[in-house]
Structure 1
Amino acid sequence: MSQPSIVTSTLRQSSPSAILTWVLGALSVFAPFSTDMYLSGFVDIAHDFDTDIASVQLTLSTFFFGLAVGQLFYGPIIDRYGRKKPLLFGIALFVVSSILIVWAPNIEVFIGLRLLQAIGGCSGMIISRAIIQDLYHEREAAKALSLMMVVQTVGPITAPVVGAYLLVLGGWQAVFYFLIGFGLVCALLTTHKVPESLPVEARQKQGIGEQLGVFKGFILNRRFIAPTLAGAMSNAVMFCFISGSPFVLMQLFGLSQQAYGWMFSATALGMVVTSQANRMLLKRFTAGSLFQASIVISLVASVALVLLRNTESLWLFMIPLAICVSMVPMVCANSMAIAMSQSGSGAGTASSLIGVTQFAMAGAVSALVGALHNGTSLPMCGMILACTLLAFIINRFSR
């Protein structure tokens, strides 16, 4: 079994660069921009391609599949060939596939191009984490990841609003023109602001068999896999909220679409607040202590949420729900920093495993919230409690 060696980068920095972190954060929002912006245009896409909504929905599920495939693809590549060139390749693939989507002749080609678009777009998600691990030690990495999660949170908040305006102004094609422009800007920023953070002497030289051994080594490393799994379970809380909140808040509590949008944005704003708070708290506390404390807070809030699930007071219901969702960035940023501190020269492979785990958990809980639908808030609230409880148990036993 191959183990990644510990390599100290000569580019290590004492504190996170705000400009670099914002650029890396922008590279991480390709996914929400590519999914949330065009959702309300499904009917128009079906009409233009003379197909049904089910076929158009495949463009979304195919994109998520591409994200998972891409996560595994980039890990070994960036450990062997460096960070910057694969990152620029991914952005270029995203831009080219976005251009071709606009001119797709049928829905089948559209679906295939969405797969390529996802494989290209997920490069920023994977490589940005590896770059942060190259440049910063655990505490500084947690600060940088917290700032990145602020940017990542802004993506889901703004994407539906921006997408709605673009759909009115230029149809669904306008969304993909926007993505083309966004990709080009990111390519320019990457070229001039993102350094090659992995020196040639620190790059992996193994063959495929040895690289698979590195994957196995991380999976069997309790100090890596425990925070990775706990962070993935916490991240899944956000997807429980996304999947279940439209029915719970609009159908059960009677919110209008506009009021729901404001409530969703307010809850997401809480994630921005905790991300910033985490950065400040890291000046006094370790990532490990904040990780454990945030899991406990999430668990207490999720228990309260289940107990209050039948209340008629919206605000009484929203308080524990907002706390559960708001704690996600604090748990995830610190868990990723702890896990990535174990990566050594295999940071790319480690980052890909974190990404795959997060998307696998998120997809599973989203499906379960839908499958367990019974006309009440219990599926959403119960799954949130299950996720936080599992995160607590994993963290507790791993210690």
Structure 2
Amino acid sequence: MMQEQTHVAQGDEAQGAQKALTGELLFLLAGLAALGALATNIILPAFPDMAVALGTSVIDLSATFSSFFVAFAVGQLFVGPLSDRFGRRWLVLSGLAAFVAGSAICAFASTLPQLIGGRVVQALGVCATSVLSRAVARDLFDGEALARALSLIMVAMAAAPGFSPLLGGAINSWLGWQATFAFVGALAVGLAVHYNIRLGETHEADKRSAASVPAILGTYRQLMIDRRFIAPALAVSLVIGSLYAFFAMAPAILMAGFHFSPFGLGIFFASTVFVVFGAGFLAPRLAHRWGQARTARVGLVIALTGSIALLVGKEDFAFFCAALTVFLLGMGMVNPLGTAIALHPFGRQAGAASALLGFLQMGCAAIAISVGAMLDAPAYTSLGIILTSSLALAFAAFLALR
């Protein structure tokens, strides 16, 4: 049965749990995972002030996002295999150090190219923490414990984009836009100290794999053709891509269509976090009863139902909120469970598997946002089309796991 297959590592040595699943450890992993998402959206409220200070336009500042995402996507493809060969600790700490350096460059930037350069350095550093938070979880936990750990990690990654605009707006109002970079840099320092004291190295020397270029390419090729990985990984990536499309397209819907203020937009984004938070805690409990694969399928059906409702329903704020809540509930269920299913059979290649998963997620997000921008339709309709198409493809991909 499919459920049984997802709990058994076929052709790979399963790793037992090495650490107790404590709140402190989960908080540390969640912080490592969420740092990149936090650093991405926290500067949004400061864009007008940054544009004036740097002598540029708000539109031109969008380059700080595209450069960040490109560096983030490419960097993690190298971080994952390197951690499988040399261990997680030095890459996590080096990544956090690079992120702090990038944050300092951004804070002292006086021109847009300097700011973009700082964002690239930030991304190259923080991609390590995002990728390796999942790999470390795979090192330490197995089965239901892994699903619970990944649930909180996924909740943190989804919560950070929702809460960070409110936080960034407050910091910018009180201390100025440079302080937002100082804040995320200080957070990275705290995470580095805590990680070094609390965890250290989690990938044992006898479980490490080769790191030559042919070996890395071979590992990625094997993962891409292994249905145990690519089916759930592609499904999760399409779901995450649809979530990023929502974050990108919602401002036009809410501010232009429903006349939200910037502060109201921040409150709305923050409120969505509670739905994802609840779904993330619900998912492992349902998986304990029904199994990971069945629960993930249910989550996909729920998310697809919300997407279809958004596509065919009336353009009304109350209906928009209801349909979006259903979508977020399903998304919050399938994201951690699909990730756990994709990573479970690949303990020795957890770094490469997590890196490839992250690359697929960023790729699907970029495609979803680009297609949404190209559609000749109102933003409300375009969002419904993107969400419905992404979830339908995700459901089809996950069924291939059979």
Normalised TM-score (structure 2): 0.92
Q: Secondary structure at the match of 2:12?
A: coil
Aligned 8 A contact 2:82 2:211 in 1: no
Q: Which residue of 1 aligns with 2:335?
A: 332
- Describe the shift of the 1:269–1:373 C-alpha distance in structure 2 as closer, same or farther (beyond 3 A): farther
Offset from partner CA, 1:239-263 (integer Å, 9 cap, x none):
2221222222333334444444333
Give the whole-Å Cα distance in 2 for the aligned partners of 1:279 and 1:134. 19
Moved more, 253-262 or 164-173: 253-262
Q: Which residue of 2 aligns with 1:209?
A: 214
Q: Which residue of 2 aligns with 1:221?
A: 226
Q: Which residue of 1 aligns with 2:382?
A: 379
Q: Which residue of 1 aligns with 2:56?
A: 51
Aligned 8 A contact 2:151 2:281 in 1: yes
Aligned 8 A contact 2:163 2:269 in 1: no
- Describe the shift of the 1:195–1:330 C-alpha distance in structure 2 as closer, same or farther (beyond 3 A): farther
Offset from partner CA, 1:168-218 (integer Å, 9 cap, x none):
222211111111211111111111112421111111135221221011000
Moved more, 79-88 or 150-159: 150-159
Aligned 8 A contact 1:306 1:378 in 2: yes
Give the whole-Å Cα distance in 2 for the aligned partners of 1:114 and 1:5. 40
Give the whole-Å Cα distance in 2 for the aligned partners of 1:266 and 1:210. 45
AA aligned to 1:341 is: H
Aligned 8 A contact 2:75 2:127 in 1: yes
Give the whole-Å Cα distance in 1 for the aligned partners of 2:102 and 2:377. 40
Give the whole-Å Cα distance in 2 for the aligned partners of 1:342 and 1:241. 31
TM-aligned CA deviation for residue 159 of structure 1: 1.1
TM-aligned CA deviation for residue 141 of structure 1: 1.0
Aligned 8 A contact 1:139 1:337 in 2: no
Q: Which of 87, 93, 97 lines up with 1:88 in the alignment?
A: 93
TM-aligned CA deviation for residue 102 of structure 1: 2.1
In structure 1, runs of 5+ residues without a counterpart are none
Note if 1:99 corresponds to 2:81.
no
Moved more, 98-107 or 379-388: 98-107
Aligned 8 A contact 2:236 2:335 in 1: yes
Aligned 8 A contact 2:43 2:180 in 1: yes
**Superposition pairs of residues 155-304 of structure 1, within 5 angstroms:** 155-304=160-309
Moved more, 89-98 or 298-307: 298-307
Give the whole-Å Cα distance in 2 for the aligned partners of 1:107 and 1:250. 27
AA aligned to 2:134 is: R
Q: Secondary structure at the match of 2:348?
A: helix
TM-aligned CA deviation for residue 162 of structure 1: 1.4
Aligned 8 A contact 2:16 2:141 in 1: no
Aligned 8 A contact 2:105 2:114 in 1: no
Give the whole-Å Cα distance in 1 for the aligned partners of 2:379 and 2:354. 37
TM-aligned CA deviation for residue 18 of structure 1: 2.2
Aligned 8 A contact 1:9 1:198 in 2: no
Give the whole-Å Cα distance in 2 for the aligned partners of 1:110 and 1:254. 32
TM-aligned CA deviation for residue 71 of structure 1: 1.2
Q: Which residue of 1 aligns with 2:34?
A: 29
Aligned 8 A contact 2:35 2:126 in 1: yes
Offset from partner CA, 1:131-167 (integer Å, 9 cap, x none):
1111111322111111122322332232111111111
Aligned 8 A contact 1:237 1:328 in 2: no
Offset from partner CA, 1:221-243 (integer Å, 9 cap, x none):
01100000001111122122212
- Describe the shift of the 1:77–1:317 C-alpha distance in structure 2 as closer, same or farther (beyond 3 A): same
Give the whole-Å Cα distance in 1 for the aligned partners of 2:79 and 2:151. 23
**Superposition pairs of residues 312-351 of structure 1, within 5 angstroms:** 312=316, 314-351=317-354
Note if 1:12 corresponds to 2:15.
no
Offset from partner CA, 1:83-104 (integer Å, 9 cap, x none):
1111001001111221232223
Give the whole-Å Cα distance in 2 for the aligned partners of 1:149 and 1:211. 26
Note if 1:119 corresponds to 2:130.
no
Give the whole-Å Cα distance in 2 for the aligned partners of 1:321 and 1:115. 33
Aligned 8 A contact 2:43 2:177 in 1: yes
TM-aligned CA deviation for residue 70 of structure 1: 1.6
Aligned 8 A contact 1:34 1:179 in 2: yes
Offset from partner CA, 1:292-328 (integer Å, 9 cap, x none):
11111222222222221x244x222321221112322
- Describe the shift of the 1:12–1:282 C-alpha distance in structure 2 as closer, same or farther (beyond 3 A): farther
Give the whole-Å Cα distance in 1 for the aligned partners of 2:247 and 2:382. 13
Aligned 8 A contact 1:98 1:117 in 2: yes
Normalised TM-score (structure 1): 0.93
TM-aligned CA deviation for residue 360 of structure 1: 0.6
Give the whole-Å Cα distance in 2 for the aligned partners of 1:128 and 1:183. 14
Aligned 8 A contact 1:43 1:53 in 2: yes
Q: Which residue of 1 aligns with 2:159?
A: 154
AA aligned to 1:120 is: G
Give the whole-Å Cα distance in 2 for the aligned partners of 1:103 and 1:259. 30
TM-aligned CA deviation for residue 16 of structure 1: 2.5
- Describe the shift of the 1:44–1:396 C-alpha distance in structure 2 as closer, same or farther (beyond 3 A): same
TM-aligned CA deviation for residue 12 of structure 1: 3.2
In structure 2, runs of 5+ residues without a counterpart are 1-9
Q: Which of 350, 355, 358 lines up with 1:355 in the alignment?
A: 358
- Residue identity over aligned pairs, in percent, reads 28
Offset from partner CA, 1:72-122 (integer Å, 9 cap, x none):
120111000011111001001111221232223432222122111101011
